[in-house]
Amino acid sequence: MGMNSAIEWTEATWNPATGCTKISPGCAHCYAERMANRLQAMGQPNYASGFKVACHQNAIDLPIHWKKPRKIFVNSMSDLFHKAIPDEFILKVFEVMSRADWHQYQILTKRSDRLVELNAILDWQPNIWMGVTVEDSDYTYRIRHLRKTSAFVKFLSLEPLLGPMNDLDLDGIDWVVVGGESGPGARPVNPQWVIDIRDQCNKVGVAFFFKQWGGVHKKKNGRLLEGRLWNEMPIGIGR
């Protein structure tokens, strides 16, 4: 189930686990849930139970068979640190990432407390980028959790951005991705919130990536911020 990804900041997705549950406001219009229900309706075997959390042994070693190096978003259809995913399975995912070390992996979680709990037993390799999603200022504690980990590259996904993020503590953070919500019922993003975040990143030299304005007409709204694209990636990456 490796597919080329339409997500602007990655190249492929790998879903050893699928399914999730909602834990904070950013989850309200989950695109993965919409997609899982569609795949279930189409009879895709890995989505037989829709958006219930499931681990797929048959998908665990996929990156080993992908010979061409690429950026891989891990578990785009789930959260690797969901409580329903066993420690052993997470360790297996990390094992595959260190074996297939010609790829770069991007992991994103909202469950930063479990990430911190498991940090000491995880095999952090330089090709594994670890990120947390922070949708509004109530969830900036996830950044503190991320900072406690031994990940080589640490990033933030501020998407869907639901409010202003003043005074972000970007200490130890390598990369910030910002995006507005898209799809049915999308909550609008205020351009000033995005500009403020970009300015904070620029001030301390953190790579800034603006993914999209979002909205119901995502394509039409595009991804230009003040007349230009922001596609910065963390520096010093690679093996």
CATH code for position 119: 3.20.20
Whether residue 234 is contained in a domain is answered as: no
Whether residue 226 is contained in a domain is answered as: no
Residue 8 exposed, middle or buried by CB count within 10 Å (0-12, 13-18, 19+): middle
pLDDT at 1: 45
Whether residue 82 is contained in a domain is answered as: yes
| pLDDT surpassing 60 at residue 14 | yes
Whether residue 168 is contained in a domain is answered as: yes
In terms of DSSP H, where are the helices of the chain? 31-41, 62-65, 87-99, 112-118, 141-147, 191-204, 218-221
Whether residue 102 is contained in a domain is answered as: yes
Q: Whole domain around residue 100: which residue ranges?
A: 3-221
How far from chain centre, in Å, is Cα 214? 16
pLDDT in tens, 116-131: 999 999 999 999 999 9
Whether residue 227 is contained in a domain is answered as: no
Q: What is the DSSP letter of 49?
A: T
pLDDT at 201: 98
Number of domains making up the chain: 1
| pLDDT surpassing 50 at residue 239 | no
pLDDT in tens, 202-214: 999 999 999 999 9
pLDDT in tens, 76-99: 999 999 999 999 999 999 999 999
Residue 48 exposed, middle or buried by CB count within 10 Å (0-12, 13-18, 19+): exposed
Whether residue 237 is contained in a domain is answered as: no
pLDDT in tens, 216-232: 888 899 999 999 999 99
Q: Which pLDDT band, with edges at 50, 70 and 90, does 42 fall under?
A: very high
pTM of the model: 0.94
Whether residue 178 is contained in a domain is answered as: yes
pLDDT at 236: 56
Token pair 């997609």: residue: 35
